[in-house]
């Protein structure tokens, strides 16, 4: 893991073009080639590039490219505060606890609630951008990625499964993958984003999964 702390400008070109004016940032270069740029506040990166990437450096410019796309992240270094690399090891995976873990187990036993003919390949399938809740194939054999939420799904859940789909689609033999978000309810913004990006939204009733009512399914 390389940690770069610098006063820098950030430019991105790809699906759109953005520019971030000069400021102090922390840039993480991860072992899988992904790069995350963090501001002084906030939990999420303000810029990121999922791996694998190609990194090209000069004295004051770092360019991060994704070979499979036209995306480029350009970091203009104005002042480097620290630049250190660490040999790190982390083989652990996230273990979901409590109600969400129970919900996943119930859905695995009743995948028809999401879609008839759906077959589970793997739970918590790792990708470079996080684990896919349910990595499945549909009745036609097409890879189908399911992100499960135990409460109302917001736009971030849709963005998450889109990132998973982008990673899977980098492998031609698996593309094009389907993306589904399954939740008891959806925020309006989540539905709008899902419709625009080709993500399917499946509404299910958790109590139905527990056998307290007849199965009910709504597909938007």
For the entire predicted model, the pTM comes to: 0.55
Helix pair 188-197, 155-169: axis angle to 10 deg: 20
Q: State the average pLDDT over residues 7-11.
A: 96
How high is the mean pLDDT of the chain?
A: 88
Q: For residues 58 and 92, which has the higher predicted lDDT (pLDDT)?
A: 58
Residue 158 has pLDDT above 70, yes or no: yes
Q: For 197-217, give one letter per residue: b (16+ CB within 10 A) or e.
A: eebbbbbbbbebbeeeeeeee
Domains in the chain (CATH in brackets) are: 2-85 (2.70.180.20), 98-219 (3.40.1350.10)
DSSP letter at 108? H
Residue 97 has pLDDT above 60, yes or no: no
Q: For residues 48 and 175, which has the higher predicted lDDT (pLDDT)?
A: 175
Nearest-10 Cα torsion for 53, 57, 60, 63: -30
Q: How far is Cα 194 from Cα 3, in angstroms, rounded to an integer?
A: 34
Residue 92: the pLDDT is: 67
Measured in degrees and rounded to the nearest 5, phi and psi for residue 134 equal -130, 110
- Say if residues 164 and 136 touch (Cβ distance below 8 Å): no
Q: State the average pLDDT over residues 14-19.
A: 86
């Amino acid at each position: 893991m390389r940690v770069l702390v610098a006063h820098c400008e950030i430019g991105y070109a790809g699906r759109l073009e953005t520019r971030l004016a000069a400021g102090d940032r922390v840039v993480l270069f991860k072992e899988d080639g992904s790069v995350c740029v963090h501001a002084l506040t906030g939990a999420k990166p303000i810029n990121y590039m999922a791996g694998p990437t190609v990194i090209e450096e000069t004295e004051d410019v770092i360019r991060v490219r994704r070979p499979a796309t036209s995306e480029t992240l350009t970091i203009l270094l104005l002042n480097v505060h620290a630049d250190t690399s660490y040999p790190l090891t982390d083989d652990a995976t996230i273990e979901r606890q409590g109600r969400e873990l129970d919900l996943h187990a119930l859905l695995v036993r009743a995948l028809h609630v999401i879609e008839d003919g759906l077959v589970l390949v793997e739970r918590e399938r790792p990708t470079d951008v996080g684990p896919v809740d349910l990595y499945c194939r549909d009745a036609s054999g097409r890879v189908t990625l399911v992100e499960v939420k135990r409460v109302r799904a917001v736009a971030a859940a849709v963005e998450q499964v889109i990132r998973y789909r982008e990673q899977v689609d980098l492998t031609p033999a698996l593309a094009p993958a389907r993306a589904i978000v399954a939740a008891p309810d959806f925020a309006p913004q989540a539905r709008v984003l899902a419709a625009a990006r080709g993500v399917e939204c499946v509404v299910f009733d958790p109590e139905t999964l527990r056998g307290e009512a007849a199965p009910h399914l709504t597909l938007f």
